[in-house]
């Protein structure tokens, strides 16, 4: 006997909106004493079902854990474990830490690659920086996007409608690295076409120059990063790093140029975790039990409705009974009695019974009570 | 939450109260329908204790008092106090409902009150009561007829003329109101206008050929006219 599994959406006890975007709205929800994130896609938007299905079956430290996905009320949705961390879009990070983050991401992308999967939308908004026992762990979210993803991070071939692959992810990692260290995007534009055009001209863009002109970076940092720009930010996919392995090596070399050993790197990363990540987490808004969901909870909503409907029906019934009783036993009956009284009182049938004993001379003498008795009167009820 | 509970409790109490009042009104109507006027009065009064502006309860009470007074009329007992009581209820009712049916019954009640006042020898306010009655229902020819009779008995020629106009109005508006022919003919007879008296009574007789008074007095007027013709007066 098969039992229908209840959707997590129907077990939700509370929900808080986190973000409203053009493609989807994000909610933090709690169900079964566990925190989740609900990504509720707009009607016109959806995700690559095959990719999400495979991601849901994976279990990697640097990857979000999908608990449920599907379609409800005409909307696609994904529910994944809530990740207590800070979005990379909220921060600018030291170069060494940025390189460390990128290496972690490359490791996660390698895991995806082993399943013939690619992210396709690598941007700071899809990276959550967590502090796992004091250790920095970037977590990738929102795999399986349809379309080029965040335009400022998309490789030129993605604008031409090609699906995500290792090379396009490599390009996006380059843009992501620049954003992490510099604090804003390398390419800015007003519209899709402009982004597409600028991505094709990325070879003529010199990130090192931009970093140097900002005056915030040491020469060592700029020179350590320079080979990475050449290996990542290239319009032609063939000019980029061969694969994620090669990129990892390049990152390792860059880290080596900036620090004296693994311990020094770890120390700087730990400092970053303690001073930035944990501090940000302490500032996070406390949890609430607010209920603000974009869908109807089937089971509970049903019960609640029945309770409400029952009371409403009861009240309507009482009102109907009252209305009927007012109509039937009240107004109409008393008016019927009034009608009867009026009808009988205005009957002229008895006028013929006027006594003929009153001579004309006395007929006007109203002081005579016998005349009053003979006076035509409204008929009396027998 | 507590506020909502209180609201629900208050709504329930209000519903119960309304239900109780409606139940009393229903009982009053039942009693009125079967002629148990005393019980009807008790039920309607009880409903009015809860809701003094309850239109149906007030109308029911007025009709119950009206019916009790009618019973008194039928038994030929003094009815002034009974009609007074009914008129008081109609007066209060008129502040809640001034529909045509209520006004018409109120008008009839005032006619009887005026008549009872005259029978009691309290004729001071009779004309005022009749005027009220006619104002409430201008088609209440009983009140018009009584007013005409009172004015016709006056020594003032103007009053007699007004009485004549009233009776003419009645026979014109309601040709079946035979008493008005009799009374109008009486005025002409008293004025010595036998011809007009005979015309009026004859018209009444055409409407009610077996009316004893009209038969008798039309015959007397006819004889009088014949004798006048024979004597050369006409």
- Asked if the Cβ–Cβ distance from B56 to A337 is below 8 Å, we say no
Domain holding A280, by residue range, is 85-286
* Weakly modelled stretches of chain B, pLDDT under 70: 1-19, 234
Percent of chain A with pLDDT over 70: 82
CB contacts, 8 Å: A355 with chain B: 212-213
Report chain B's mean pLDDT, rounded to a whole number: 89
Sign of CA dihedral A77, A83, A84, A88: negative
CATH of the domain at A207: 1.10.510.10
**What's the whole-number mean pLDDT along residues A53-63?**
87
Six-digit token pair at B135? 């104002």
Of A286, A316, A333, the position where a domain reaches its end is A286
Nearest CA-CA distance, residue B233 and chain A, Å:
22
**Same domain, yes or no: A18 and A135:** no
**Same domain, yes or no: A248 and A339:** no
pLDDT-wise least confident of A31-35, A270-274, A300-304, B71-75: A300-304
**What's the whole-number mean pLDDT along residues A21-41?**
85
**Same domain, yes or no: A354 and A219:** no
* CA quadruple A303, A308, A314, A318: dihedral, nearest 10: 180
**Same domain, yes or no: A96 and A189:** yes
**Predicted confidence (pLDDT) per residue in A309-358, tens digit:** 788 888 888 888 776 665 554 456 888 888 888 887 777 654 433 333 34
- Asked if the Cβ–Cβ distance from A366 to B150 is below 8 Å, we say yes
pLDDT-wise least confident of A57-71, A101-115, B9-23, B212-226: B9-23
| Full DSSP string of B12-66 | HHHHHHHHHHHHHHHHHHHHHHTT-HHHHHHHHHHHHHH-TT-HHHHHHHHHHHH
Cα separation, A28 vs A285, in Å, equals 12
Residue B186 has its nearest CB partner, among A331, A355, A360, at: A360
CATH of the domain at A33: 3.30.200.20
Residue A339 has its nearest CB partner, among B101, B118, B150, at: B101
**Same domain, yes or no: A335 and A358:** no
3-class DSSP assignment, residue A132: strand
**Same domain, yes or no: A203 and A309:** no
In a domain, A115, yes or no: yes
Residue A363 has its nearest CB partner, among B30, B142, B186, at: B186
In a domain, A73, yes or no: yes
In a domain, A291, yes or no: no
**Predicted confidence (pLDDT) per residue in A155-176, tens digit:** 999 988 888 899 999 999 999 9
**Same domain, yes or no: A162 and A113:** yes
User: What pLDDT is attached to residue A131?
Assistant: 84
Query: Cβ of A168: how many Cβ atoms within 10 Å?
Result: 26
C-alpha angle A110/A179/A282, rounded to 5°?
90
Q: Is A378 on the interface with B (CB under 8 A)?
A: yes
pLDDT-wise least confident of A181-185, A374-378, B142-146: A374-378
**Same domain, yes or no: A314 and A365:** no
CB contacts, 8 Å: B212 with chain A: 354-356
In a domain, A240, yes or no: yes
**A128 close to A87: Cβ distance less than 8 angstroms:** yes
The number of folded domains in chain A is 4
**Same domain, yes or no: A183 and A122:** yes
Residue of B16, B20, B26, B185 best to disrupt the A interface, most CBs of A under 10 A:
B26
User: What pLDDT is attached to residue A134?
Assistant: 74
User: What pLDDT is attached to residue A369?
Assistant: 47
**B110 close to B133: Cβ distance less than 8 angstroms:** yes
Max alpha carbon distance in chain B (Å)? 104
CB contacts, 8 Å: A322 with chain B: 15, 18-19, 22
Give percent helix, percent strand, percent coil of chain A, each to the nearest 5.
Answer: 50, 15, 35
In a domain, A293, yes or no: no
Angle of helix B141-152 versus helix B126-136 axis, rounded to 10: 150
CB contacts, 8 Å: B30 with chain A: 329
In a domain, A1, yes or no: no
In a domain, A2, yes or no: no
**Same domain, yes or no: A158 and A220:** yes
**Same domain, yes or no: A167 and A259:** yes
Nearest CA-CA distance, residue A311 and chain B, Å:
11
- Asked if the Cβ–Cβ distance from A337 to B32 is below 8 Å, we say yes
pLDDT-wise least confident of A2-11, A104-113, A179-188, B193-202: A2-11
- Asked if the Cβ–Cβ distance from A334 to B189 is below 8 Å, we say no
- Asked if the Cβ–Cβ distance from B208 to A325 is below 8 Å, we say no
Nearest CA-CA distance, residue B231 and chain A, Å:
23
**Same domain, yes or no: A103 and A207:** yes
In a domain, A367, yes or no: yes
Q: What is the predicted ipTM?
A: 0.75
**Predicted confidence (pLDDT) per residue in A227-282, tens digit:** 999 999 999 999 999 999 999 999 999 998 887 677 778 888 888 888 888 888 87
């Amino acid at each position: 006997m098969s039992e229908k599994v209840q959707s997590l959406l129907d077990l939700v006890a509370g929900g808080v909106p986190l973000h409203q975007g053009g493609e989807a709205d994000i909610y933090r929800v709690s169900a079964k004493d566990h925190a989740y994130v609900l990504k509720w896609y707009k009607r016109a938007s959806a995700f690559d079902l095959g990719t999400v299905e495979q991601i849901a079956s994976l279990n990697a430290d640097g990857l979000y854990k999908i608990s449920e996905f599907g379609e409800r009320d005409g909307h696609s949705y994904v529910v994944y474990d809530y990740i207590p961390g800070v979005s990379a879009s909220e921060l600018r990070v030291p170069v060494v830490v940025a390189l460390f983050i990128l290496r972690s991401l490359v490791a996660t992308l390698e895991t995806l690659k082993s399943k013939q999967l690619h992210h396709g939308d690598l941007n700071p908004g899809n990276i959550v920086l967590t502090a796992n026992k004091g250790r920095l762990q970037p977590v990738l979210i929102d795999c399986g996007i349809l379309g080029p993803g965040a335009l400022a991070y998309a490789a030129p071939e993605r604008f031409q409608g090609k699906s995500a692959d290792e090379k396009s992810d490599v390009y996006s990692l380059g843009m992501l690295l620049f954003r992490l260290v510099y604090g804003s995007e390398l390419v800015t534009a007003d519209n899709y076409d402009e982004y597409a055009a600028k991505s094709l001209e990325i070879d003529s863009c010199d990130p090192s120059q931009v970093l140097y002109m900002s005056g915030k970076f040491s020469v060592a940092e700029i020179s350590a990063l320079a080979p990475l720009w050449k290996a990542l930010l290239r319009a032609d996919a063939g000019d980029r790093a061969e694969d994620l392995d090669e990129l990892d090596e390049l990152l390792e070399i860059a880290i080596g140029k900036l620090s004296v050993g693994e311990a020094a790197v770890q120390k700087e990363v730990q400092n970053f975790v303690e001073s930035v990540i944990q501090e940000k987490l302490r500032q996070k808004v406390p949890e609430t039990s607010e209920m603000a969901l974009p869908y109807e909870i089937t089971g509970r909503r049903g019960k609640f409705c029945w309770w409400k409907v029952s009371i409403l029906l009861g009240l309507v019934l009482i009102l109907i009974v009252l209305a009927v009783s007012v109509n039937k036993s009240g107004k109409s009956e008393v008016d019927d009695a009034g009608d009867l009284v009026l009808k009988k009182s205005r009957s002229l049938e008895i006028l013929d019974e006027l006594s003929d004993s009153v001579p004309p001379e006395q007929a006007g003498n109203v002081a005579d009570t016998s005349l009053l008795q003979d006076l035509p009167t409204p008929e009396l009820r027998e | 939450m507590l506020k909502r509970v209180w609201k629900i409790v208050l709504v329930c109490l209000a519903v119960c109260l309304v239900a109780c009042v409606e139940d009393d009104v229903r009982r009053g109507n039942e009693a009125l329908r079967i002629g148990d006027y005393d019980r009807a009065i008790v039920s309607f009064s009880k409903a009015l204790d809860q809701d003094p502006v309850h239109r149906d309860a007030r109308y029911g009470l007025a009709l119950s008092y009206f019916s009790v007074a009618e019973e008194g009329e039928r038994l030929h007992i003094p009815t002034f106090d009974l009609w007074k009581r009914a008129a008081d209820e109609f007066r209060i009712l008129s502040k809640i409902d001034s529909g045509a049916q209520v006004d018409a019954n109120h008008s009839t009640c005032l006619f009887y009150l005026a008549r009872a006042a005259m029978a009691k020898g309290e004729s001071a306010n009779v004309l005022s009561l009749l005027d009220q009655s006619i104002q409430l229902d201008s088609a209440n020819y009983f009140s018009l007829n009584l007013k005409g009779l009172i004015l016709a008995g006056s020594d003032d020629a103007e009053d007699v003329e007004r009485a004549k106009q009233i009776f003419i109005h009645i026979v014109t508006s309601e040709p079946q109101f035979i008493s008005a022919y009799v009374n109008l003919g009486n005025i002409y007879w008293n004025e010595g206008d036998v011809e007009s008296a005979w015309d009026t009574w004859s018209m009444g007789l055409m409407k009610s050929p077996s009316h004893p008074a009209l038969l008798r007095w039309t015959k007397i007027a006819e004889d009088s006219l014949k004798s006048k013709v024979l004597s050369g007066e006409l």
